[in-house]
Amino acid sequence: MKALTALDPLLEHRIRLGTCVLLAKHGELSFARLKSQLHATDGNLGAQLRKLEERGYLLSTKDFVERKPTTWYRLSDEGLAALESHMTALRALIDATGVGAGEP
Amino acid sequence: MTDVNKLQSDLDYIRGAIGEDATAGGIPALYFLWAALIAVGFSLPDLAPRFAGAYWLFAGTGGGLFSWWLGARESRRHGYNNAQLGRRYGLHWCLVGAAFLLCFLPLVLGRVTPEMGGANFLLVTGIAYSLAGVHLERPLLWCGVPMLIAYGVLVVFMPPHIWTITGISVGAALCWAGFSRRAALNADHTP
ipTM of the complex: 0.75
pLDDT range class, residue B166, cuts 50, 70, 90: confident
Q: How far is A4 from chain B (nearest CA, A)?
A: 7
Per-residue pLDDT band for A85 (boundaries 50, 70, 90) equals very high
Contact yes or no for A80/A5 (Cβ under 8 A): no
Per-residue pLDDT band for A103 (boundaries 50, 70, 90) equals very low
Mean pLDDT over B48-75 rounds to 89
Buried b or exposed e, range B39-49, using 16+ CB within 10 angstroms: bbbbbbbbeee
What pLDDT shows up at residue A104? 44
pLDDT at A27 over 60: yes
The packing angle between helices B61-77 and B28-47, to 10°, is: 170
How far apart, in Å, are the Cα atoms of A17 and each of B13, B58, B190? 10, 47, 29
Mean pLDDT (whole number) for B75-101: 90
- Mean pLDDT across B175-190: 83
Q: Judge: A34–B79 Cβ closer than 8 Å, yes or no.
A: yes
- pLDDT category at B20 given cuts 50, 70, 90 is low
pLDDT for position A59:
96
Confidence of residue B26 (pLDDT cuts 50, 70, 90): confident
% of chain B exceeding 90 in pLDDT: 29
Inform me whether the C-beta atom of residue A78 falls under 8 Å from chain B C-beta atoms: no
Contact assessment for residue B151 and residue B8, using Cβ atoms and an 8 Å cutoff = no
Confidence at B17, pLDDT banded by 50, 70, 90: confident
CA–CA distance, B73 with B174 (Å, rounded to integer): 21
Residue type at B13 in one-letter notation: Y
Chain A neighbors of B19, CB-CB under 8 A: none
Residues from chain B contacting residue A70 (CB–CB below 8 Å)? 79
* Confidence category of residue A99, pLDDT binned at 50, 70, 90: low
**Cβ-based contacts of A7 with chain B (< 8 Å):** 2
Alpha-carbon distances, residue B89 vs A27, B8, B141 (angstroms)? 15, 35, 15
Kindly determine whether residue A26 and residue B23, on different chains, have CB atoms separated by under 8 Å: yes
Q: Chain B within 8 Å of A95 (Cβ-Cβ)?
A: no
Closest CA to B22 of B133, B173, B185, B146: B185
3-state secondary structure of A58: strand
At A100, is the pLDDT very low, low, confident or very high (cuts 50, 70, 90)?
low
pLDDT exceeds cutoff 80 at B37: yes
* CA–CA gap between residue B141 and residue B134 (Å, rounded): 6
**Alpha carbon distance, N-terminus to C-terminus of chain B:** 40
The answer to whether A48 touches A6, Cβ cutoff 8 Å, is no
Whether B7 shows a pLDDT value over 70: the answer reads: yes
pLDDT tens digits for B98-149?
A: 998 899 899 889 998 887 887 888 899 899 999 998 988 888 888 888 889 8
